[in-house]
Amino acid sequence: MTDRKILLDDYLPPSHDIEEVALEFDLHPNKTRVRSRIVFKRARGGDLRLDGKELTLISARIDGQPIEVNPDKEGITLRADDLPERFVWEAEVEIDPGSNTSLEGLYISNGMYCTQCEAEGFRKITYYPDRPDVMAPFSVRISGDEPVMLSNGNPVARGKGWVEWQDPWPKPSYLFALVAGDLLAHSDRFTTASGRDVELNIYVRKPDIDKCAYAMDSLKRSMKWDEEEYGREYDLDLFNIVAVDDFNMGAMENKGLNIFNSSLVLASPQTATDQNYEGIESVIAHEYFHNWTGNRVTCRDWFQLCLKEGLTVFRDQSFGMDMREPNVNRIKDVMVLRAAQFPEDAGPLAHPPRPNAYVEINNFYTATVYEKGAEVVGMLRRLVGPAQYRAALDLYFDRHDGQACTIEDWLQVFEDATGRDLSQFKLWYTSAGTPELGVAEAWDGKGSYTLTLNQKTPPTPDEAEKAPRLIPVAVGLLYPDGSEAVETRVLELTKPVESFR
């Protein structure tokens, strides 16, 4: 068997859009039933591919009529000729969360039902076009014996043994979440800038209920910071966090229902170190910030992962600098970059923040996508300045709210907000490798200072010759007593060698 390589250049928009999704779960440790009702509408057209893995199909209908389908190992193809312009797909499947050890899809961790759908886990829950550029509002009904049963959005109805959730914001399937189990909530409230009252809950197991205070405090500070620095308010009546023992991803930004590995939520003064607290603050902020950079504006495909991750890491780093000692935090972030990303960029696994081919997307959650992706956003901010950066971000949210976007869309808002041409800057996203910057100074003793900068990027396995990057270099001049002679300005190195007088 050879693994199929997926190429950025092969991207095709979805054949069908989804107007709405209704899911019903009958929870059972080994025989969970999932009924889906999905309203499809023809978009580009062509056959409709529904991804599905390790599902037992019980029944399927189109517009209420039972149909015969023959799933292959990875899903179902519905032929274009058999599909009306707009139709309702209904399916019932059975899944086995108790035996799901992949920690993708719906699984049981220590007696608790839990999901992980990024990147391609939703296809283990039901048949669906499991790709981020298909966004839809979801409603979810969960039936079972569990005392707490959560999903995305707001709770809209409940009775004995069931609860219904509605998420009004269109989202891709990778942001779907369900949690059910014997959990307790550490609760609080937050009032947004425009006066929306939001209930906040951190759900944990009973013995951990006294260890949530710092995570809650971090959450409230994150919500406030995002309003002040980015003008981004929270958009549901409820924000839930769940701490889970078995969780691969560290933490996950599912809409309105973030799921965390317990170690990134729980802390008590008796056992936690300063480093633990800092880690909790940073990860809580990161996942919360995804509500706008990732969820409201998402990625068109997984090649664009750094669109949400690079930007959100940059945002959580900026938050950390504002909460703590900025220079110390910056040094720590650079140390992480140098320790984790520089070797990656110098080795056989070198890849650009936006790769153009992958076999398994789970292998691309890398330091390059996250940490270098964040540095590139920071460079962009350095290049255009804080005011124009904010203007570009405002435009990004205005223009792309509810959309699945690309790095091109991201750079376009900067071009439109600033009038700059960023085609050379784009190389940071599309070409791997760590440039080496050389600096030579000359002072003629009469009042003329010349700074000569040169750059060279060593080859990477995918690219022998590297074009020069646009590198912003902030420079200031000081007198021997430390006072400022020339205030800091940003030089733009665009060629292999350039002198600035």
- Applying CB under 5 A, the residues found at the interface with Zn ion are 309, 312
Q: Shortest gap between Cβ of 290 and Zn ion (angstroms)? A: 6
Report how far residue 451's alpha carbon sits from residue 440's, in angstroms, rounded to the nearest whole number. 6
Bond preceding residue 119 cis, omega within 30 of 0: yes
Minimum CB distance to Zn ion, residue 29 (Å): 30
- Closer to Zn ion by CB, 166 or 254: give it: 254
> How would you classify residue 153: left for phi > 0, otherwise alpha for psi between -120 and 50, otherwise beta?
left
Q: Shortest distance, CB of residue 494 to Zn ion, whole angstroms? A: 32
| Distance between CA atoms of residues 368 and 425, nearest Å | 17
Residues annotated as catalytic (active site), given as ranges: 287
Backbone dihedral region of 256: left (phi > 0), alpha (psi from -120 to 50 degrees) or beta? left
Using the minimum distance from each CB to Zn ion, give the nearer residue, 49 or 286: 286
Q: Cα separations (Å) of 433 from 63, 345, 369, 439, 468?
A: 52, 5, 13, 19, 11
Residue with tokens 């919500």: 223
- Least distance (Å) between residue 308 CB and Zn ion: 7
Contact present, 125 and 34 (Cβ < 8 Å):
yes
CB-based burial, 96-121: b 16+ in 10 Å, e otherwise: bbeebeebbbbbbbeebbbbbbbbbb
Question: Quick one: 152 or 457, whose CB is closer to Zn ion?
Answer: 152
Smallest separation (angstroms) from Zn ion to the CB of 53: 24
CB of 348 to Zn ion, least distance (A): 26
Nearest residue to 73 via CA among 153, 127, 19: 127
Q: Is 242 exposed, middle or buried (0-12, 13-18, 19+ CB in 10 A)?
A: buried
> What kind and span of H or E run contains 154?
strand 154-159
Least spacing, CB of residue 218 vs Zn ion, in Å: 16
**Longest Cα separation, the chain:** 89
Give the H or E element holding residue 19.
strand 16-26
Residue 243 or 299 with smaller CB distance to Zn ion: 299
- Residue 116 or residue 312: which is nearer to Zn ion going by CB? 312
Which residues, 6 or more positions from 50, have their beta carbon under 8 angstroms from its beta carbon? 75, 76, 77, 78, 89, 127, 128, 129
> What strands lie across the sheet with 112-116, from one edge to the other?
105-109, 112-116, 178-181, 148-151
SS3 call for 388: helix
Question: Smallest Cα–Cα separation from 164: which of 176, 174, 175, 151?
Answer: 151
Angle at which helix 386-400 crosses helix 373-384, to 10 degrees, equals: 120
User: What is the 8-class DSSP label of residue 173?
Assistant: G
Please tell me the distance from the alpha carbon of residue 152 to that of residue 434, in angstroms, as a whole number. 40
Closer Cβ to Zn ion, 312 or 366, answer by number:
312
Find the shortest distance in angstroms from Cβ 487 to Zn ion: 36
CA 396 to chain centre: 16
Least CB distance to Zn ion at residue 169 (A): 18
- Name which of 57 and 340 has its Cβ closer to Zn ion: 340
Nearer to Zn ion, 291 or 312 (CB): 312
Nearer to Zn ion, 50 or 283 (CB): 283
